[in-house]
Amino acid sequence: MELKDYERDMTGCSRCSICKWIPLNQIKSWRFANVCPSISRYNFHAYSGGGRMLMGLSILQGRSELTEVVTDIIYKCTLCGACDVSCKQYRDDIDISETLQAFRIRCVEEGQLIPEHTVMIDNLRREGNVFGKPKTERGRWAEGLDVKDINEEQADVFFHAGCNYSYDEELWPIVRGAVTLLENAGVDVGIAGGEESCCGGRAYEIGYQGELEKYAEDVIGRVKASGANKLVTACSDCYSTFKYYYPKIGKALGVEVLHITEYIDRLIREGKIKPTKSVPMRITYHDPCHLGRRGESYVGEWKGDNKLLRPLKYKRTGKEGVYTPPRNILKSIPGLELVEMERIKEYSWCCGAGGGVKEAYPDFSIWTAMERVEEAKATGAEAIVTACPWCERNFKDAIKESGERVEVYDVIELVLRAI
Amino acid sequence: MLQRDAYKELEDTIGPENVSEEQALLDGYAWQPSFSSSPKEKLDIWLWRPRPEAVVLPGSTEDVQAILKVCNRYKIKFKAMSTGWGAWNSPGTEGVIQIDLRRMNKILEINEENMYALIEPYVVGAQLQAEAMKKGLTPHIIGAGANTSVLASSTSMGGYGGTGISTSMSGRNVLGVEWVMPNGDILKLGAPGSNAGWFCGDGPGPSLRGIMRGMFGAAGGLGVFTKCAVKLFHWPVPHEVHVEGLLLDTMIKIPENIKFYFCFLPSFERFADAAYKIGEAEIGYMLVKQTIGSTLATMAPHLLRAIAQNQSIKAALNAFEHIFMFMIAANSKRDLEYQEKALKKIISETEGVLITISDMPTTASMALWGSIRSSLTPLAFRYSSSFATTLGSLVAWDNAVLQSKAGSEIKKQFVERGELFEDLVDNPWGGIYEGSTCFGHQEEIAFFDAHDLKTHKGWVEFEKTCVQAAVDTPMGVGISALGKGDIFGPLAGNYHIWQRKVKKAFDKEDLADSTYYITPEEK
């Protein structure tokens, strides 16, 4: 859908600023009451969900131009969807996230491009990943693993590593460990290794709609050929893309899509994975946006002009995101003490890596991550645990830059310690 | 566009990153659909207010002072806003710069012993309440919601919240104030005016509460308030409340010393009597009018749309129009027993029916925490996409109920003509203040769709009709009186003449945009 298709959403904005706060009933302190990294950092109303909607309306109605400054504001947003969750506590007829996505597509269509994003897309087209790492090295993460090559033989479960895990060596133990856990639990799993392709989600979120369609077709073809009945990924970004964006553009995968935490939780409950070793540690869990509020399944599009009349099942509230499985896993590990931060689940504070921010505005990205680190420290936790390579990488970078002493783990790493 | 020299001075004063004149960004400040009047025939320009010439983000009182000095040098009008919900926050005319106080967002002190908080403009009700409750205290939060500035409603606007029976109202809770006057000078009102702390608004030091805000505030028309102290009140729950869920799915463990009721009364008169008696008995933590119409509009809008088509169901529901929610938050078991006993007696004497929902965990959790936090009101957007209120004087309770009755009767005609949304008509919001009935307040809610010319115009006409009725009856100066001193002034001591004199004395150059206060010359 185009920006003009959201004009009613934009004119519906009451300018109440609820998009800037976590849901009001959940505010527990002055310090951690904000929900939007962008307005919290840059302060002008235009940097909030509502403010961006009004810029869109202004441009749509010919009151102002889509300038470089406006484009910069549009992209200084991790597209985390927190504003949307807060707004939807009170509104049934406004979809902020969808509008902001349409705004980005419009920026690209009008040639208002962010140079760093252009590099990402060039990399993607050349090497099949936004980092520009050689295509030939994509499968290195799995070297030495005794796992089926899905390109050669069929398997029940297609394990999709994603670009970040495929190229970030420091994170390789997570995906290697995930595959090992599955195999040890008796799961018939296979990987695409060097032939795996990008999901296209990150390209879509920076406004390149065509890339999503192209990569969706590639992934669908590979999954179909694999004969798998499940696709499992450890990347929250990929998960959200498969669960929401693909069906939204009419390209559903046609198999059950699970995040690794959902699958491990299932295997633990079935007794196929048994975390028995004590991991004495006080930890807090960071909900990745793409696994949580943006990880809901696509439920279809309501056709009608007046969204006030839209059945509530079409409202994307974030409530159905994946929140319980990672917590179940952590709670199943002996010795591990899980303490919650103030902003969790649907109203979790973003890590700062999403929406093309890490690439284009690294200082803003690190600032956002450090806000979360401060919140984690306030719980007394020794470590932040998450379930997304983008979050983990950004937290690690932020902590390294700041000199803080907080550990960062993926849920899988702690399971591996407990086995 | 501002003179280049003026813009450069603003940049030099507070840093270029805190000043902008980007047109699309400025439009974020020009869009004010709530309580915006004068819709025009062309839908797409209805809700745009005059676009500010620039926006500035001061970070301190000194920044505000410096900005106003620049404004004085270049004769630039200015308009300050904090959280910014409502048309009165934006410039009312061309050529105005917007001062967005968002960076001034700190709770400077919570004084437990003297029961007050010292705050900056961008502290919202939910933040202050969350911190105050850690010390067994709570602020008054206005009905507009916990997302709004506490300082703004205390210094510059009206402001009633559902717990007013025990936490009064914002205008009466303000203590010491720091005020940057239109010429850039700083005036400290009350105790801080004598460097004696912030505990009192009326001395030692100058007491100018009446001039500073009067009944409804100057809505930015007299300069910029940069700090204020507000009263905090006893919060009788000895622990922080653990809240699950976000809003309608909220779940809390209901404290044993809190009880929640719906009180159904048979008529306007009995409804008024019950509140008077409650005030005289000095019981209750919260008393708020709650109607079937607003309950359905906020909780089940699809159902209300369906009911709106059915005359017999509407007629049946109209039998339950005089309802208020009542909460007891007791300090001891004996206190709880006394208050419950008194309430039952009062409702019995006024031929009402009392229903307790304390034992219904889901409903009670949502209603109770939503009322304490003042987080429910914006749910009113769910029904028609827009709502607004009118009438709503701060007057004797009888008069408030009279307004409620008049508002309902006027609205009925608009609803029948399809010019406002069906809300079962009797739909005021408000209650009594300060544990007595010296003040009462009833705003009449109306639902309209800002996208729809017929109902949007319906709202504007409805407000005009209510204003005229308030003048003709007369029924007092309500929330629709903002910027309408020339209409309401003759009813109330010619206050508009005095406002104009105050404006001229405090803002000789007429630089603080006073569209929603008083124009320097009579219209």
The residue assigned the tokens 């653990």 is B242
In a mutational test of the A interface, the residue from B1, B19, B22, B129 whose CB has the highest number of chain A CBs within 10 Å is B22
pLDDT in tens, B259-309: 999 999 999 999 999 999 999 999 999 999 988 899 999 999 999 999 988
A172: tokens are 């390789």
Nearest CA in chain B to A306: B451
Residue B204 φ/ψ region, left for φ over 0, alpha for ψ in the -120 to 50 degree band, beta for the rest: beta
Q: Is A324 on the interface with B (CB under 8 A)?
A: no
For B289, which DSSP code? E
d(CA B79, CA A385): 46
Residue pLDDT, tens place only, A282-311: 999 999 999 999 999 999 999 999 999 999
pLDDT at residue B483, as a whole number: 87
User: Is residue A353, in this structure, part of any structural domain at all?
Assistant: yes
Confirm or reject contact between A55 and chain B (CB < 8 A). Answer: yes
Together in a domain, A178 and A315: no
Q: Considering the entire predicted model, what is its pTM?
A: 0.97
Reported as a pLDDT band with limits 50, 70 and 90, residue B159 is confident
Helix (H, G, I), strand (E, B) or coil at B173: helix
User: Which domain-ending residue is among A240, A269, A298?
Assistant: A269
> CA nearest B380: which of B464, B443, B460, B316?
B443
Q: Testing the interface with A: which of B147, B389, B455 to mutate, by most A Cβ within 10 A?
A: B147
CB contact under 8 A, A25 and B369: yes
pLDDT digits (tens, 9 = 90+) for A231-268: 999 999 999 999 999 999 999 999 999 999 999 999 99
Find the CB nearest B57 among A8, A44, A54: A44
Which residues have CB under 8 Å from A365's CB, separation 6+?
A: A78, A352, A353, A357, A358, A394
B143 touches B123 (CB < 8 A) = no
User: Which candidate from B47, B103, B245 shows the least CB-CB separation from A43?
Assistant: B103
Would A332 be classed as within a structural domain? Answer: yes
Nearest to B297 by CA among A90, A182, A283: A90
Q: How far is B271 from chain A (nearest CA, A)?
A: 30
- Looking at chain A, the whole-number percentage of residues with pLDDT higher than 90 is 100
Judged by CB atoms closer than 8 Å, whether chains meet at A308 and B126 is answered as no
Judge whether residue A84 has pLDDT over 60. Answer: yes
- Structure-token pair, residue A47: 């940097």
pLDDT digits (tens, 9 = 90+) for B1-29: 899 999 999 999 999 999 999 999 999 99
**Average pLDDT of the residues in A367-382:** 98
Q: Which residues pair with B100 in a beta bridge?
A: B81
Task: Say whether both A411 and A290 belong to one domain.
Answer: yes
Q: How far apart are CA B286 and CA B445, in angstroms?
A: 20
pLDDT of residue B438: 67
The answer to whether residues A196 and A225 belong to one domain is yes
Topology annotation, domain B107-234: 3.30.465
Q: How confident is the model at residue B47 (pLDDT cuts 50, 70, 90)?
A: confident
For residue A42, give both structure tokens.
Answer: 């840059």
- Does position A222 have pLDDT exceeding 90, yes or no? yes
> For position B46, what pLDDT does the model report?
62
Given a cut of 70, whether residue B523 has pLDDT beyond it is no
pLDDT of residue A408: 98
Domain extents for chain B?
A: 107-234, 246-480
The b-or-e profile of B502-515 (16+ CB within 10 A means b, else e) is bbeebbeebbbbbb
C-alpha to C-alpha distance for B163 and B285, rounded to whole angstroms: 6
Length of chain A: 419
Domain shared by A244 and A143, yes or no: yes
- Measure the CA dihedral A308/A312/A316/A319, to 10°: 140
Measure the CA–CA gap between B29 and B31, rounded to whole angstroms: 6
* pLDDT given for residue A29 in this prediction: 97
| C-beta atoms of B85 and A16 within 8 A | yes
**Based on the domain organization, do A262 and A279 belong to the same domain?**
no
Question: What is the average pLDDT value for chain A, to the nearest integer?
Answer: 97
C-beta atoms of A27 and B130 within 8 A: yes
Are residue A60 and residue A167 in the same domain, yes or no? Answer: no
Q: What does the DSSP 8-state code read for residue B87?
A: G
Residue B426: pLDDT band (50, 70, 90) is confident
Would you report the helix, strand and coil content of chain B in percent, each value rounded to 5? 40, 20, 40
Same domain, A109 and A12: yes
The CATH number linked to A148 is 3.40.50
Is the same domain home to A264 and A131? yes
Tell me: do A151 and A15 sit in the same domain.
Answer: no
The DSSP symbol for B168 reads: -
| Separation between Cα atoms, residue A201 and residue A209, nearest integer Å | 9
Are residues A92 and A31 located together in one domain of the fold? yes
Give the residue, B103 or B433, on which the prediction is more confident: B103
Among chain B residues, the shortest Cα distance to A90 is held by: B379
Question: Quick check: is A119 in a domain?
Answer: no
Clarify whether residues A134 and A256 are in a common domain: yes
Is A129 contained in some domain? yes
Structural domain count, chain A: 2
> Using CB atoms within 10 A of its CB, is residue A226 exposed (0-12), middle (13-18) or buried (19+)?
buried
How far does the CA of residue A58 sit from the closest CA of chain B (Å)? 6
Same domain for A243 and A197? yes
Structure tokens at A246: 């693909």
pLDDT at position B208, please?
93
In this structure, CATH architecture of domain B246-480: 3-Layer(aba) Sandwich (3.40)
Interatomic CA distance for residues B107 and A8, integer angstroms: 37
Structural domain containing residue A55: 3-113+274-418
- Spell out the alpha helix ranges (H) of A149-235: 163-167, 172-184, 201-205, 209-226
Question: For chain B, what is the mean pLDDT?
Answer: 93
The minimal CB distance from B147 to the residues A21, A67, A309 is found for: A21
Q: What is the mean pLDDT of residues A27-41?
A: 98
pLDDT in tens, A375-401: 999 999 999 999 999 999 999 999 999
Residue where a domain stops, chosen among A220, A239, A269 = A269
Closest CA to B105 of B222, B190, B232, B226: B226
With b for 16 or more beta-carbon neighbours within 10 A and e for fewer, the B361-383 pattern comes to eeebbbbbbbbbbbbbbbbbbbb
Q: Which of A97-111, B38-52, B124-138, B349-363 has the lowest mean pLDDT?
A: B38-52
Partner-chain residue, chosen from A24, A46, A63, that has the shortest CB–CB distance to B375: A24
Which of A8, A59, A309 is nearest residue B24 as measured by Cβ atoms? Answer: A59
Mind giving me the DSSP string for B354-376? Answer: EEE-TT-HHHHHHHHHHHHHT--
Please indicate whether, in this complex, the C-beta atoms of A27 and B48 are within 8 angstroms of each other.
no
Can you give the pLDDT at residue B93?
93
Tell me if residue B507 falls in helix, strand or coil. Answer: coil
Phi, psi of B77 (to 5 degrees): -75, 155
Rounded to an integer, the average pLDDT of A75-82 is 98
What pLDDT, in 10s, does the model give residues A163-189?
A: 999 999 999 999 999 999 999 999 999
Q: SS3 letters for B17-38? A: HHEECCHHHHHHHHECCCCCCC
